[in-house]
C-alpha cells in the first residue's frame, strides 16, 4: 500500500497528472468539468511553443503584487489539493490553485493585444481558430479588456485564455503580463472526459496556422482556473 502510494505520488509529481476545468476561461474548446492529462516532461528539455496549452501555478504564487495575499506553503498546498480536505469551506487558498491558458507569445516576440483581445506578433495578426468569444467594444473601440503592447522577455511566455472576454490572464495580472517558465507545471495534451469528446488537444502555431511539433496538456482532478 505504501509503495503503491509512493509510486502514484512520484508519477504525479514528475511525469503525469490529471486536472479538470473549473471555469469558462478556455471556452469553447475546453468546457467546464472537462478532464485533461498534463505531462511534465517536455518542458525539461525545451521551451513552450506558441499554441500549446499550459498549466501553471496561480499568479498569487509568483506575482509580486499579489504575493502579499499569499499565506500558503508547499505542504499546505498539498493538503488543500486533496479531494476531501480541499472541499472543506474556508480552506481554499488562491496561491495553491493551478491555472490553464494557451501560450500566444514567446521570448523575443513583440506582441500587441487590442481591445477585443485579438493578438498580433511582430506586426502580423495571428490565426486563432480556437477563439470565438472576443471582448466587446463600443463604437469608439473601447471595451472592458486591457490591451498590451510589449516584448516578451527571456524566461517567460505570454499566456491567454481562449475565452478572451472572460479570462483572468496576463492582461489583468497587476504585477505584469508574463508567465515565468519556472512556474509552468506541465503541458495539457489529452482530454479523457467526457467520453464523447476524448482525444488529443490541438496546439496550432498561431503564427503559421500549422500544428505545433509537440502536444499540450491541466492534478488529479484538481481545478485549473
Active-site annotation holds for 72: no
List the catalytic residue out of 58, 72, 101, 167. 101
Rounded Cα–Cα distance for residues 67 and 71 (Å): 8
Total count of residues recorded for the chain? 225
From the list 141, 155, 148, 159, the residue with the least C-alpha distance to 120 is: 148
Let me know if 167 is a catalytic residue: no
Grid cell in block for residue 126: 495571428
| Residue at grid coordinates 503525469 | 16
Q: Using the Cα atoms of residue 69, residue 75, residue 81 and residue 86 in order, give the sign of their dihedral.
A: negative
Q: Which of 23, 25, 42, 58 is catalytic?
A: 25
| 192, 35 Cβ separation under 8 angstroms | yes
Query: CA 1 to CA 155: how far, in whole Å?
Result: 40
Active site residues: 25, 101
Amino acid at each position: 500500500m505504501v509503495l503503491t502510494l509512493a509510486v502514484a505520488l512520484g508519477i504525479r509529481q514528475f511525469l503525469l497528472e490529471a486536472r479538470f476545468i473549473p471555469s469558462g476561461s478556455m471556452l469553447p474548446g475546453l468546457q467546464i468539468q472537462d478532464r485533461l492529462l498534463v505531462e511534465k516532461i517536455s518542458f525539461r528539455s525545451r521551451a513552450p511553443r506558441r499554441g500549446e496549452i499550459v498549466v501553471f501555478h496561480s499568479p498569487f504564487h509568483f506575482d509580486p503584487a499579489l504575493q502579499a495575499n499569499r499565506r500558503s506553503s508547499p505542504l499546505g498546498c498539498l493538503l488543500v489539493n486533496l479531494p476531501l480536505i480541499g472541499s472543506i469551506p474556508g480552506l481554499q487558498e488562491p496561491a495553491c490553485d493551478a491555472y490553464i491558458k494557451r501560450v500566444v507569445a514567446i521570448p523575443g516576440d513583440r506582441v500587441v493585444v487590442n481591445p477585443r483581445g485579438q493578438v498580433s506578433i511582430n506586426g502580423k495578426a495571428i490565426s486563432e481558430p480556437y477563439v470565438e468569444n472576443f471582448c466587446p467594444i463600443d463604437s469608439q473601440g473601447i471595451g472592458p479588456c486591457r490591451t498590451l503592447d510589449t516584448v516578451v522577455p527571456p524566461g517567460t511566455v505570454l499566456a491567454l485564455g481562449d475565452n478572451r472576454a472572460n479570462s483572468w490572464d496576463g492582461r489583468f495580472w497587476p504585477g505584469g503580463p508574463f508567465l515565468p517558465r519556472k512556474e509552468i507545471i506541465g503541458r495539457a495534451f489529452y482530454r479523457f472526459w467526457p467520453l464523447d469528446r476524448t482525444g488529443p488537444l490541438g496546439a496550432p502555431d498561431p503564427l503559421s496556422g500549422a500544428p505545433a511539433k509537440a502536444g499540450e496538456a491541466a492534478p488529479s482532478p484538481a481545478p485549473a482556473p
